[in-house]
Structure 1
Amino acid sequence: MKILYGTTNPSKLEYMKRMLYGLDIELIGLKDINLITQNIDESGNNPLENARIKAIAYYKAAKTPVFSCDSGLYIDGLSEEEQPGTHVRRVHGKVLSDEGMIDHYSKLSARLGGKAIARYKNAICLVIDEKHIFEYDEDDIAGEKFIITSRPHFKKHVGFPLDSLSIDMKSGKYYMDMVDYNEEDKNVAKGYKRFFVNSLFKKGV
């Protein structure tokens, strides 16, 4: 089955292809179908609301099965008002570049002692048609806790700039020095696969 992933980020598309490897699903991105949409107002209060907003908007534009994902970054030691949440790239009304994100979060980590504990909470919404909309945001697709350091790695990962600041708590290694498909990815992949299998089974696909 061919499903559109509502993203123009090639790194995110390749990541999700790894997550769903083994399922009879062909993933394509927005660039593959040259879909042009107006800026989507991601005004949700949490990752699930934003995933739903995007998925429904892309479905209306493409008229094909589509899913969207959204994430929220939550950092220990910050107040609720200070949490990046769903606005990881948007700070004080400004959308940050990859380099801007590395600069901002390295300084934020320094303010918290240089080793801030953080976690991503993820959500997904799949729209098959107007009557079949499935969504999910449970812990089995959330990331494990990790460290945001104040010292950036010299390597950069286009589309995932915070990998240059992220350190695995178990190994003490920067994400940039780890094998892409690590143990955490495998656990999250199981959660995503269960979501798609259960959703498509309910639809009868």
Structure 2
Amino acid sequence: MTIRLKRGDRLVLATHNKGKLVEFQDMLKDFGLDIVSAGDLGLPEPEETGTTFIENARLKAHAAAKATGEIALSDDSGISVDALDGQPGVYTADWAGVPRNFTNAMQKVQDLLVEKGATEPNQRTAQFNAVLCLALPDGTDMIFEGLAPGMLVWPPVGDSGHGYDPMFKPDGYEKTFGQMSAEEKHSWAPGKEGLSHRARAFAKFVKDVL
């Protein structure tokens, strides 16, 4: 099915993650939507029991749509490291512990890579994955996927972005996501794919929904 949004429509962002909320607000600012987050509404965070990014994105979007009776947009994203058989994947945030400490999470990735003997650039390939799910209260939805390939560096460089950004250098660039401004990292514009995984999924969302 196709869901269309227009200026003035209300959209619930199914997230309690302030970093993601800021990124989405920045990317959606020109579309005139009435945006509110699940965190702002005090909605409970659904348990992410899925084993894929799509499953978890659907869980979050449908929970928010059902709770509010409104259209909801969710994101599930993470980093998959080839030498670690795709880990941490859907458990990307879990590796940061509670409360979240991504300095420790990045160190865990580095330690595991060293254990594997993955010290050369061609042994440290990885990709950021993002899945957006736009859900209606009636249970229907649309899925949009984005992928940003790159490699992992050590030590981490840069203090922009969030999560594993300081250790991820996207293909074709000499800077990590952690060294890039939000504008450079997303580099989204109408008709342009964008750089980050989330921007690439967002470009598909805009094309089909806005």
SS where residue 92 of structure 2 aligns? coil
Pick from 68, 81, 88: which aligns with 1:84? Answer: 88
Pick from 166, 169, 183: which aligns with 1:164? Answer: 166
CA shift, 1:44, in A, is 1.2
Structure 2: distance between partners of 1:190 and 1:47: 15
Aligned to 1:43: 49
Structure 1 pair 129/199, CA: closer, same or farther in 2 (3 Å)? Answer: farther
Q: How many residues align?
A: 189
Letter in 1 for 2:84: L
Q: Which runs of 5+ in 1 are unaligned?
A: 201-205
Give the share of equivalent positions with the same residue, in percent: 21
Aligned to 1:27: 35
Structure 1 pair 87/183, CA: closer, same or farther in 2 (3 Å)? Answer: closer
Aligned to 1:125: 133
Aligned to 1:203: none
Which residues of 2 match residues 188-199 of structure 1 at below 5 A? 188=194, 189=199, 191-196=201-206, 198-199=208-209
* TM-score normalised to structure 1 length: 0.77
Structure 1: distance between partners of 2:85 and 2:203: 34
Structure 2: distance between partners of 1:49 and 1:11: 21
SS where residue 63 of structure 2 aligns? helix
Q: Is the CA contact 2:127–2:150 (under 8 Å) kept in the aligned structure 1?
A: yes
* TM-score normalised to structure 2 length: 0.76
Structure 1: distance between partners of 2:138 and 2:166: 40
CA shift, 1:12, in A, is 0.7
Name segments (4+ residues, structure 1) moved above 3 Å: 93-96, 108-111, 155-158, 188-191
Q: Is the CA contact 1:20–1:192 (under 8 Å) kept in the aligned structure 2?
A: no
SS where residue 66 of structure 2 aligns? helix
Structure 1 pair 13/169, CA: closer, same or farther in 2 (3 Å)? Answer: same
Report whether the alignment pairs 1:105 with 2:112.
Answer: no
Pick from 12, 17, 21: which aligns with 1:9? Answer: 17
Q: How much is the aligned-residue C-alpha RMSD, in angstroms? A: 2.7
SS where residue 36 of structure 2 aligns? strand
Structure 1 pair 150/109, CA: closer, same or farther in 2 (3 Å)? Answer: farther
Letter in 2 for 1:102: M
